[in-house]
Amino acid sequence: MLRKLFKFHGGVKPQTNKERSTTAPIAAVPLPDRLVIPLHQAVGGHPRPLVQPGDRVFKGQRIGGADGNLSSAVHASTSGLVRDVAPAVMPHTSGLTTLSVIIEPDGEDRWGELDKVNYRSTPPDELRDFLRDAGVVGLGGAVFPSYLKLKPGKEGKLKTLVINGAECEPFITCDDMLMRERAGDMLKGILAMRHMLQAEEVLIGIEDNKPQAVAAVQAAIAASGQSGIEAVAIPTRYPAGGAKQLIRVLTGIEVPHGRRSTDFGVQCFNVGTAFSIYEALELGRPLISRLVTVAGNVDAPRNYDVLIGTPMDHLVRLAGPRADTDRYIMGGPMMGVRLPAFDVPVVKATNCILVGSEAMFPAPAPEMPCIRCGECAKACPADLAPFELYWFSRSKNFGKAQEYHLFDCIECGCCSFVCPSHIPLVDYYRFSKSEIWAREREKEAADAARDRFEFKNHRQEREKLEKAEKLAAKAAATREKVAADGATAPAAGSDAAPAAKPAPDAAKRALIEAAMEKARQQKAQAAPRNTEQLSPDVQAEIADIEARREIVAKPAASPLPPQDA
Amino acid sequence: MINSPFVRKAASVQSVMLQVLLALVPGIAAYVWFFGAGILVQIAIASAAALAGEAAMLAIRGKPKAIFLTDLSAVVTAWLIALTFPPIAPWWLTVTGTLLAVVVVKQLYGGLGQNPFNPAMAAFCLMIVAYPALMSQWPAAGQLDFKTQLDLIFGGLRQVDAITGATPLDALRTALRAAANPDSQVHGLRAAQLMDGPAFGFLGGKGSEWIALGYLVGGLWLIQRKIITWHIPFAFCAALLVTAGLLWGVRPDAFASPVFHLASGGAMLGAFFILTDPVSGATTPRGKLLFAAGAAILTYVIRTFGAYPDGIAFATLLMNILVPIIDMKTQAPVFGHKKD
């Protein structure tokens, strides 16, 4: 039965360069002298180190614990001695360092105790925790923690589980080789995912330039006797392996930017992720190794099963790098990142080490002005108008860039690939995006500062109010005392005049003090008045005081000469 | 190069422009065949002037010369000027027009990719306003030998009124207006009868209809090479056919047939080579349709009711003005935001 496939707009057909690395089977890699395992290898929170220098670790021992809701554990890839827990250069263009666990292998490669889990009888929440602690993340390159994606949508079930074996990037063949050699085990991982997601159907999308992989997966499905799972050959066109593009091709659904695909009844996982889920659940093995393609400027391009943390040059040496090699690129030529050094470690995101030279990847011809030819728009798989985004980015008109859906750009590189003016278009979008992020962060910081400032003002206001109330109460008490003295004084004796003398003075002084205090308060706070917005209790109290003031005022005023009318 | 992609398609502005030039060759061949080699001289004059003007401006602006002179964009402008100006225009007219196009309309606006107006068409409009007589002298097919053409191009004296006439478009319009006049000799004659004259061929002007066919062939090749898309030529031809068809359908005696409009003047050149200039034209698919349809209607109106021999140039400039808003209002929905 032929399945109806859908098309996505645009796309390009770069030279695939996949043949040479698929001639030999997946190979093992001798243990390196040391492994550098960055703790932060996946999208989300930075895992906490669980080991200290000097600790002995087993293969598969957790050395970094997931931190927070979005985080994933990290494990020792072999048994050995923890030499250090220190920052080390990570495999990223920036050359920045990240906290890493440096392990000296003891050569025994001894596993610790392995916990398996039966996914059919385990509650989904426990399964997800298990996978988080097994460090399973998306191996297609995004390294998003898989346990978070293994939740069905609001309806509690999923229509389609899409498995991504498209592998559209040139040179990379690790998914191809995985499907050829390990389709059966991969399928077991897929079945577990299908169970967790309650998915009705499973579609495994594979570009039609990998007929052997398609055949191997189809054979594995047939052998398993499962129904509702289909391996679908899709047209070879970059970036068919982009999750959104693959979902579009297989189901016709377009998941907009910023929306979850589960809201549309679809979820998508890489084939490598499926295999590592199988390893985690059925063998109890956490994610400590992955398949890596070594290709490009090497004599024998090949796929290797590589321990996470293996220095890249240790691995590349096996494939015979040529003399003029001057760079490693992690990933493919369309979206890969150029690395700052040769000895950076293989991490969970490393699907390919593309060995390069100036001759192999020459610098593009000089950048020319944009002639608005629209080639980029024709090639854009997100249906954007890349040349408009380029103009807006150049002029730093970020508002307009966002209006033209800058953040829908997946940075696939198709526009740069086709541009006859050799404009590094994607770089312009990266620039714009990071500028916008920086501005948003600034704005957030400013907002927070303003909130802090306003709260401080509010606090100071409140403190003033409290102080004023206290003073008012004290003054009232004084007046009361004075009034009491005044009341008793005349009754005390007939020679009232001299005895009463100090009483009006005290009263006068109290009144003056109260008036001055009031004036001070009014000066300190023009608005709001301190008598406004008070609780009923306080208002009642004030009314009480006012009443007493009346009483106090009469006897105090009486000895004074009457005012002229 | 630090950032991906690390591979690129072999494409360049130069190769785009070169293919446009190649696509003009069939039309030029027909031109030479019917009207003589004078047009080649005009092309050479215009190309030299364009490159000289470009080089001077690049030097003044402090831009790299080698890369921008070899991008061939100035040569494309030059060829379009030569092909739209009368083949017997004096050399200084061609040179002035070309320099205006390259220096003022292109370079003063910022050079390649920055000009809001089509340089060749802006030059055409400026020159026809400044030199209406010289810009309206068109020889008939086979009328002038190469030597006469050279004399006319380089010679000072121009006693050509006797031997040159208007373009077929102009001729037919004048005749139709005359036919509508009861006092005229040709009163009552229909367009079809008027077109029996020696200036007319099967569909349009004698000889010039073959040039149009040459442009059509070259233009289709450009579509096949994916240098241009089908939108602009299709919308231009369709809108011109419909507009001309409506009036012709109502009064066939007073208006030229839609096919005549397509085959005459700069219609084919405009549809495939002028309106398709990416820099000054609309860029979205829907925008291109609107842009070209608008240009076709304006062309028809200027041809039929205006005073100029052809309307393509003015129509192009008028639509160039509208390009920003057309593009802005016709942005296609992006991935995930479509309503299908």
Contact A420 B6 (CB under 8 A): no
Interface test with B, best of A328, A358, A373, A412 (most B CBs within 10 A): A373
The answer as to whether A193 is a domain residue is yes
Cα–Cα dist B94/B45, whole Å: 7
The confidence score (pLDDT) of residue A562 equals 46
Contact A374 B283 (CB under 8 A): yes
Report pLDDT digits (tens) over A12-47. 999 999 999 999 999 999 999 999 999 999 998 899
Other Cβ atoms within 10 Å of B134 Cβ, number: 18
Q: Which of A303, A322, A356 is the last residue of a domain?
A: A356
Instruction: Tell whether A417 and A330 lie within a shared domain.
Output: no
Which chain B positions have a beta carbon within 8 Å of A421's beta carbon?
A: 12-13, 113
What order of strands is seen across the sheet that includes strand A97-105? Answer: A35-38, A97-105, A80-89, A56-57
Q: How far A248 CA lies from chain B's nearest CA (Å)?
A: 10
Could you tell me how many CB contacts below 8 A there are between chain A and chain B? Answer: 140
Contact A371 B4 (CB under 8 A): no
The answer as to whether A7 is a domain residue is no
Contact B6 A256 (CB under 8 A): no
The residues pairing with A266 across neighbouring beta strands, listed in sequence order, are A160
Question: How many residues in chain B?
Answer: 340
Please count the helices (runs of H) and the strands (runs of E) in chain A: 15, 17
Q: How confident is the model at residue A496 (pLDDT cuts 50, 70, 90)?
A: very low
> Is omega for the bond preceding A239 within 30 degrees of 0, making it cis?
yes
Complex ipTM > 0.85: yes
- How many domains does one find in chain A? 3
Output the CA torsion A391→A393→A396→A397 (10° steps): 70
Cα–Cα dist A58/A405, whole Å: 48
Instruction: Tell whether A188 and A228 lie within a shared domain.
Output: yes
Give chain B's radius of gyration (CA, Å): 21
DSSP class of residue A192 equals H
The answer as to whether A533 is a domain residue is yes
DSSP class of residue B132 equals T
The answer as to whether A168 is a domain residue is yes
Q: Are strands A62-65 and A48-49 parallel, antiparallel or unpaired?
A: antiparallel
A168 is in an annotated binding site: no
Q: Which residues contact A447 (CB under 8 A, 6 or more apart)?
A: none
Checking if the pLDDT of A53 tops 50, the result is: yes
- To the nearest whole percent, how much of chain A has pLDDT over 70? 92
Chain A residue with minimum CA distance to B330: A385
Tokens 């009341």, located at residue: A487
Give chain A's radius of gyration (CA, Å): 37
Which residue type occupies A66?
A
> Taking the domains of chain B in order of start, what are their residue ranges?
13-328
Q: How confident is the model at residue A564 (pLDDT cuts 50, 70, 90)?
A: very low
Q: How confident is the model at residue B310 (pLDDT cuts 50, 70, 90)?
A: confident
Instruction: Tell whether A512 and A551 lie within a shared domain.
Output: yes
Which residue type occupies A292?
V
Checking if the pLDDT of A377 tops 80, the result is: yes
Q: What is the Cβ-side half-sphere exposure of residue B182, based on CA atoms within 13 angstroms? A: 0
Sign of the Cα torsion B103, B108, B114, B118 reads negative
Q: How far B288 CA lies from chain A's nearest CA (Å)?
A: 11
Name the residue with higher pLDDT: A288 or B187. Answer: A288
Which residue type occupies A486?
G
Cα–Cα dist A194/A204, whole Å: 12
| φ and ψ at residue A289, rounded to 5 degrees | -150, 165
A268 is in an annotated binding site: no
Which chain A positions have a beta carbon within 8 Å of B338's beta carbon?
A: 254, 383
Q: What is the mean pLDDT of residues B262-271?
A: 91
Cα–Cα dist B99/B51, whole Å: 9
Contact B335 A254 (CB under 8 A): yes
Interface test with A, best of B6, B115, B284 (most A CBs within 10 A): B6
Contact B8 A422 (CB under 8 A): yes
Contact B112 A369 (CB under 8 A): yes
Instruction: Tell whether A338 and A381 lie within a shared domain.
Output: no
Residue A100 contacts residue A88 (beta carbons within 8 Å): yes
Other Cβ atoms within 10 Å of A449 Cβ, number: 10
Checking if the pLDDT of B323 tops 90, the result is: yes
Instruction: Tell whether A277 and A333 lie within a shared domain.
Output: yes
DSSP class of residue B334 equals P
The confidence score (pLDDT) of residue A485 equals 77
* Alpha-carbon B79 to chain mean position: 10
Q: Are strands A302-307 and A27-28 parallel, antiparallel or unpaired?
A: parallel
Tokens 């990570």, located at residue: A90
Name the residue with higher pLDDT: B185 or A425. Answer: A425
Among the listed residues B126, B80, B76, B74, the one whose alpha carbon sits nearest the alpha carbon of residue B100? B126
Instruction: Tell whether A237 and A104 lie within a shared domain.
Output: yes
The residues pairing with A260 across neighbouring beta strands, listed in sequence order, are none
| φ and ψ at residue A181, rounded to 5 degrees | -100, -25
By residue range, what is the domain housing residue A542?
456-557
Select from A368, A383, A427 the Cβ nearest to the Cβ of B3: A427
The confidence score (pLDDT) of residue B340 equals 56
Contact B336 A381 (CB under 8 A): no
- Would you state the structure tokens that stand for residue A536, as one six-digit string? 């009923």
Other Cβ atoms within 10 Å of B339 Cβ, number: 4
Residue A74 contacts residue A328 (beta carbons within 8 Å): no
Select from A93, A372, A417 the Cβ nearest to the Cβ of B5: A417
Question: How many residues in chain A?
Answer: 565
Select from B8, B71, B279 the Cβ nearest to the Cβ of A372: B279
Cα–Cα dist B312/A87, whole Å: 68
Which residue type occupies B249?
G
The confidence score (pLDDT) of residue A565 equals 41
The answer as to whether A361 is a domain residue is no
Instruction: Tell whether A78 and A119 lie within a shared domain.
Output: yes
Which helix (DSSP H) or strand (DSSP E) does residue B299 occupy?
helix B285-305
Range of A410-414, A539-543, B175-179 with top mean pLDDT = A410-414
Cα–Cα dist B3/B1, whole Å: 6
The answer as to whether A437 is a domain residue is no
| φ and ψ at residue B194, rounded to 5 degrees | -60, -30
Among the listed residues A94, A96, A104, the one whose alpha carbon sits nearest the alpha carbon of residue A53? A104
Name the residue with higher pLDDT: A444 or A115. Answer: A444
The answer as to whether A3 is a domain residue is no
The answer as to whether A362 is a domain residue is no
Q: What is the mean pLDDT of residues B251-278?
A: 90
Interface test with B, best of A406, A416, A422 (most B CBs within 10 A): A416
Checking if the pLDDT of B335 tops 60, the result is: yes
Q: How confident is the model at residue B218 (pLDDT cuts 50, 70, 90)?
A: very high
Contact A416 B5 (CB under 8 A): yes
Which residue type occupies A82?
V
Instruction: Tell whether A383 and A490 lie within a shared domain.
Output: no
Checking if the pLDDT of A192 tops 80, the result is: yes
Report pLDDT digits (tens) over B78-105. 999 999 999 999 999 999 999 999 999 9
Q: Which of A328, A356, A384 is the last residue of a domain?
A: A356
Q: What is the Cβ-side half-sphere exposure of residue A527, based on CA atoms within 13 angstroms? A: 0
> Is omega for the bond preceding A14 within 30 degrees of 0, making it cis?
no
- To the nearest whole percent, how much of chain B has pLDDT over 90? 66
Interface test with A, best of B69, B334, B337, B338 (most A CBs within 10 A): B334
DSSP class of residue A311 equals B
Among the listed residues B231, B211, B335, the one whose alpha carbon sits nearest the alpha carbon of residue B278? B231
Provide the H-helix boundaries in A294-424. 312-319, 375-379, 386-394, 398-403, 414-418
Instruction: Tell whether A349 and A411 lie within a shared domain.
Output: no
Instruction: Tell whether A390 and A492 lie within a shared domain.
Output: no
Checking if the pLDDT of B308 tops 90, the result is: no
Residue A59 contacts residue A86 (beta carbons within 8 Å): no
Contact A370 B113 (CB under 8 A): yes
Chain B contacts to A (CB-CB under 8 A): 1-9, 11-13, 15-16, 64, 67, 71, 73, 110-114, 229, 278-279, 281, 283-284, 327, 331-338
- To the nearest whole percent, how much of chain B has pLDDT over 70? 88
Tokens 């399964």, located at residue: A127
Checking if the pLDDT of A78 tops 80, the result is: yes
Using DSSP's 3-state secondary structure scheme, residue A74 falls into strand
- To the nearest whole percent, how much of chain A has pLDDT over 90? 76
Q: How confident is the model at residue B207 (pLDDT cuts 50, 70, 90)?
A: confident
Q: How far B19 CA lies from chain A's nearest CA (Å)?
A: 13
Select from A336, A384, A420 the Cβ nearest to the Cβ of B4: A336
DSSP class of residue B100 equals I
Contacts by residues A422-425 (CB-CB < 8 Å, ≥ 24 positions apart): A422/A364, A422/A365, A422/A366, A422/A367, A422/A368, A422/B8, A422/B12, A423/A367, A423/A368, A423/A370, A423/A390, A424/A364, A424/A367, A424/B1, A424/B3, A425/A376, A425/A386, A425/A387, A425/A389, A425/A390
Cα–Cα dist B312/B268, whole Å: 10
Cα–Cα dist B159/B154, whole Å: 13
Question: Which burial class, exposed, middle or buried, applies to B166 when counting CB atoms under 10 A from its CB (0-12, 13-18, 19+)?
Answer: middle
Using DSSP's 3-state secondary structure scheme, residue A90 falls into coil
Contact B113 A371 (CB under 8 A): yes
Cα–Cα dist A195/A199, whole Å: 7
Instruction: Tell whether A138 and A268 lie within a shared domain.
Output: yes
Tokens 């698919």, located at residue: B285
The confidence score (pLDDT) of residue B186 equals 62
Q: How far apart are the first and last CA of chain A?
A: 112
Q: How far A400 CA lies from chain B's nearest CA (Å)?
A: 11
Instruction: Tell whether A464 and A352 lie within a shared domain.
Output: no
Q: What is the mean pLDDT of residues A520-537?
A: 68
